[in-house]
Amino acid sequence: MSFNDIQNRASHHPAKPLARIHMPTDLSIALQPYTNGRSVRIPAEFGPKQSMAGFDPEYSNIVDYIVRITHRIWETGKDGVEYIADTYAPDSLVFDDYGLQRGNAKIIGDTHHTTDAFPDIILDADEMIWAGDDKIGFHTSHRVRIIGTNTGPSSYGPATNARIDVPCAANCVVKANDIYLEHVLYNTSAMIQQLGLDLWDEAARLSKTPPSGWPRTPEVWAALRTGVAPERPISETEPVTSFDPDAFARRVHLSVWNDDKAVIDTDYAEDVKFEGTTNRRFNGRTAYGDYVSKIRAAFPDLELQVDEVYWMGNEIDGWLISTRWSADGTHTGGDLYRTPTQRPCQIWGITEWQVKDEKIVNEFQIFNELDLMMQIEKVRV
């Protein structure tokens, strides 16, 4: 399937790229008030009413929709999994850790497989950043913790009876009750570690017997990077003189990951809290700089691009910012991913920030680390 075919398959849907007017200017419809600071998972009151034309009438707003369909799909048994047919378009496109999955029938089958492997699975919402409306479509960046016990066979072998607690992120585009485009990273590398399996052994095995969608074609890689983002950044087409989350996210990402770590000291809070891929957790600018250095040492020619940014908030309450990004790099250095292979690699990720007083105080960042290791191992076999 060509890049144009992939794009045309998605473009039938009436959702449109976001503009500055589509960014919520307060946090009234947000996860924290919805769950009362995460003291409840599904509240008795579903939050402020929002125009939801075309959605099932039971949903009050986009946060309510995403949280409740996630709960119903993953946690209410086999009938819940089948609800995917009502909330994902028949020809939906899902870019995941491995590649591109096409159609809601494929999503239903994959979800049944996972819930069979983890019958007590819970997807507990950690954060949600959204923008848009029911006219152009909603864009949502949903962070959850996948919690469960591996009591059934999975793609990674027999049951281990291990307990997992894995953060993941899904960026969806939804209109009229249908998700038609999703970028989701399940943090598979963290799950494999928590199952007690060796990451490099699994990467080598999977590179020989690859899952659906792997490896990506150039056309799929191009489509993943494009999504439904504006052709030009909002900060260029709609500039403002006040703090601009779009310009901020683009400048920081491009500086930190391409050539200039100095912005860590100017744009990150001194005690910034970080959680990320493969069970990484740390606090502080120094630890963050060390993390960046290790990645860049492995890929000295890393070239990152920002694919899409959206946000909610204001100067007083602070900002929640979602950035979807992708990068190309050659594995020529460092020891983070064992001996350099000289292999060109694809990396993509989702970053969610909490920004206060124009400083990043919390960062959640996830990227396709198992897939990256599979790309590297493919050279060795």
CATH number for the domain that contains residue 109 = 3.10.450.50
254 and 115 within one domain: no
Q: What is the residue type of 329?
A: G
Return mean pLDDT, the chain. Answer: 95
For 49, 221, 258, the CA distances from 289, given in Å and listed in that order, are 42, 28, 13
Say whether pLDDT at 14 is over 90.
no
Say whether pLDDT at 191 is over 80.
yes
E strand or H helix that includes residue 92? strand 88-95
Quote the pLDDT of residue 3: 47
81 and 19 within one domain: yes
Q: Model confidence over 202-230: pLDDT tens digits?
A: 999 999 999 999 999 999 999 999 999 99
Quote the pLDDT of residue 379: 72
Q: Model confidence over 291-348: pLDDT tens digits?
A: 999 999 999 999 999 999 999 999 999 999 999 999 999 999 999 999 999 999 999 9
Residue where a domain stops, chosen among 202, 226, 250: 226
- Using pLDDT thresholds of 50, 70 and 90, give the confidence band for residue 46: very high
Residue 286's domain comprises: 234-380
42 and 163 within one domain: yes
CA distance 345 to 376: 8
- The arithmetic mean of pLDDT across residues 247-254, rounded, is 98
Say whether pLDDT at 13 is over 70.
no
191 and 308 within one domain: no
Q: What torsion do the CA atoms of 172, 176, 4, 326 make, to the nearest 10 degrees?
A: -10
242 and 199 within one domain: no
Say whether pLDDT at 186 is over 70.
yes
58 and 190 within one domain: yes
182 and 268 within one domain: no
Say whether pLDDT at 38 is over 50.
yes
262 and 177 within one domain: no
CA distance 213 to 110: 13
- The arithmetic mean of pLDDT across residues 239-249, rounded, is 98
Of residues 282 and 14, more confidently modeled: 282
For 180, 221, 224, 225, 257, the CA distances from 327, given in Å and listed in that order, are 24, 10, 11, 9, 9
Question: How many domains does the chain contain in total?
Answer: 2
Residue where a domain stops, chosen among 171, 206, 226: 226
Q: Model confidence over 52-86: pLDDT tens digits?
A: 999 999 999 999 999 999 999 999 999 999 999 99
How many CB atoms sit inside 10 A of residue 298's CB? 22
243 and 149 within one domain: no
- The arithmetic mean of pLDDT across residues 259-265, rounded, is 92
CB contact burial 67-86 (16+ within 10 A = b; e otherwise): bbbbbbbbbeeeebbebbee
10 and 84 within one domain: yes
Cα 334–chain centre separation: 26
- Using pLDDT thresholds of 50, 70 and 90, give the confidence band for residue 6: low
pTM: 0.96
270 and 166 within one domain: no
Say whether pLDDT at 1 is over 60.
no
Residue where a domain stops, chosen among 171, 198, 226: 226
Quote the pLDDT of residue 113: 97
Strand partners, 168: 144
Say whether pLDDT at 28 is over 60.
yes
304 and 211 within one domain: no
Say whether pLDDT at 10 is over 60.
no
DSSP state of 154: B
